[in-house]
Structure 1
């Protein structure tokens, strides 16, 4: 027997890979055996950054704290606006009229409950046009509607309508309807109808803005 028979065996890459795999598997087994419970976590040490985003659900929060997540109820969109609030809106009537004097109508809802239902009837009337050549005189009130189409305003409790632009509208023809007695025109206490007449056959345009200031 020669000395060659006692030489150390060569370590190959296969040996290294096998040993590494054995070490990793042993470490994995040891890690799997470690279980951390809530009793081992000091209160106040787990923070937001330690929790994975979008992993907590409502059922993970106790009922007492869950109830605290609800804020106060907001105001209804249909309740009267706070005193002094100016609400501004607008409308457009556009269409072809087949006869001179023909009428187009549009309904505008305020979108909230005014302090008093809209009415076109005296002595409770509270909706007017600002003076304009296309509007019937009895529907105008420049004192209660002191603004303009560019800067609409209204006396508290009054809804004011400002004519912004007209095409083919007969002078002194446009009216506004609102309130219970205007039900046949489709209006009510929460909105109003605007009804211009055409000056001639053809396309008619009537654009307006409105303003309401809460009393």
Structure 2
């Protein structure tokens, strides 16, 4: 996969980065943790501009979030769950992903879209409950843009700083993501317990 990503970035530049990040949102097994650090490394070689790389990655990511948003908006949750139960394994999806994303959205509101874009495993699927909840398009795009900008800037800058060792980004992002997801899960559980006690 790394060779394929490298070839697209080398041959297509900013457009290639945008297309890869668009695809990463549609097909989660394509990792942004490889795409953007590699693009950041390419900047160190003088082939691309850092700001334009971040912008291309961000735009690709936001446009890639829109199909999931419209799926949530146009398809009932029941039908979506049936489809995911049948075919979701090919995209590493499960009904639990929808449940987790919905809990986030119910708990934290629209800001969930922004913060959800920063968490691997959630970032793609947060668009679905936003659509199911009929979140207006403009706030969805703005929050998605802000979250995607932070995520792509972080990954790109890490690749830029690490240079030839850009692949280390994926190695360290994985455990950090696990800690973030675990922390959020604990916070949700504590909040749930407190609410039950109050009731």
Q: Output the TM-score relative to the length of structure 2.
A: 0.24
- Compare CA radii of gyration and give the structure with the larger one: 1
Q: Which has the higher contact order (CA 8 A, sep 6+)?
A: 2
